[in-house]
Amino acid sequence: MAMTDSPDNALLALLAEHRLPGLSFAVIGGGQITRARSYGFADPARQVPVTADTRFQAASISKCLTALATLRLVDQGRLALDEDVNGRLQSWKIPAGEFIENEPVTLRRLLSHQAGINVHGFAGYAAGQPLPTLTQILNGTPPANNAAIHADTIPGTQPRYSGGGYTVLQQLLMDVTGQPFAELMQGIVLQSLGLNASTFVQPLPAQWNKLAATGHDKNGQPIPGGAHSYPEMAAAGLWTTPSDLAKFALGIQHALAGRPGAILSPGLAREMLTVQAGVYGLGPSIAGSGPARQWFHSGRNAGFDAVLLVGVETGKGVAIMTNANVNSQVINEILKVIAVETD
């Protein structure tokens, strides 16, 4: 960025250069949100601007909130990190097979992508398409558009990113609590952290539509028919704002610091942000070491990209959400400009 350019101008130039309709971000530091800004359009066709209240799909960042819900149940003694989840699953079981004969699928392994479960991610369902039940998704039966979810490698032997594993978690949390997934997430995570601009309900409730950004492809064209629905809520179903993601991050940092009334015990917060396998903690990914250690997660659904990045020790972080699919270079350029703005 040239010295004469303001951060605002630099970000607007990036939007124009990369055909990015809208951008919103929130910055945290010193235990609070220090800045939240928005640029461009939530719906360019109708000239609706992005505001701090504009909702975006968080895509795979949903997994971090699902991990927190799971760990809260561990904190309460209702689940254990290292038990065989098939013993707790009621409505559906991980199919028996050679890969899980001697090594169980556990919560720890599911949360850290080392449970041997297949299916990397999900395409979602275009507006008007029939939505499968969770059982149909797990079994890979129509109208589900994914393969059947099962173990195809020995649990604990290799890290491999798995949206399928988090879909198993979705069923597990429902079985343990007796609640629909969006409802249990509302009670266990969203309400507890004051994430009032967030929901896991899929498809998005009609009353939220006026605040929802319109997703766009990499060429800046609107997703036909509007936002895809993701009944794979645990893996990809969150609608939210950068400020709510920042509040979530602060909740994790407060737990890590052992603050009274924090949403999670310090011990489990430390485990969450400790590498279990590869780059994966219990939910987030982990990079760096010492004061440079960060926890993070990116997300991509049809028409939406997002990233959440937080310093484990510094507590400094940023949540960025866009209503288009952009490459990682663009996100890195946005991060650089935001870093200049917040130095």
As given in the structure block, the two tokens for residue 165 are 């594993």
Residue range of the domain that includes 290: 18-342
Q: Could you tell me if residue 196 is inside a domain?
A: yes
Which amino acid is located at 258 in the chain? Answer: G
Q: How many CB atoms lie within 10 A of CB 249?
A: 25
- Domain-embedded: residue 327: yes
Position 128 in a domain:
yes
Give a yes or no: residue 231 inside a domain: yes
Task: Provide the number of structural domains found in the chain.
Answer: 1
Q: What pLDDT tens digit does each residue of the chain (343 aa) get? A: 444 468 999 999 999 999 999 999 999 999 999 999 999 999 999 999 999 999 999 999 999 999 999 999 999 999 999 999 999 999 999 999 999 999 999 999 999 999 999 999 999 999 999 999 999 999 999 999 999 999 999 999 999 999 999 999 999 999 999 999 999 999 999 999 999 999 999 999 999 999 999 999 999 999 999 999 999 999 999 999 999 999 999 999 999 999 999 999 999 999 999 999 999 999 999 999 999 999 999 999 999 999 999 999 999 999 999 999 998 889 999 999 998 665 5
Measure the CA–CA gap between 85 and 80, rounded to whole angstroms: 9
Q: Please check whether residue 221 lies inside any domain of the structure.
A: yes
Whether the bond between 21 and the residue before it is cis, its omega within 30 degrees of 0, is no
- Are 310 and 296 in contact by the 8 Å Cβ rule? The answer is yes
Domain CATH code at residue 151: 3.40.710.10
CA distance 48 to 105: 46
In a domain, 182, yes or no: yes
Instruction: Specify if 173 maps to a domain.
Output: yes
Tell me, yes or no, whether 5 lies in a domain.
no
Cα–Cα distance, 342 to 51 (Å, whole number) = 20
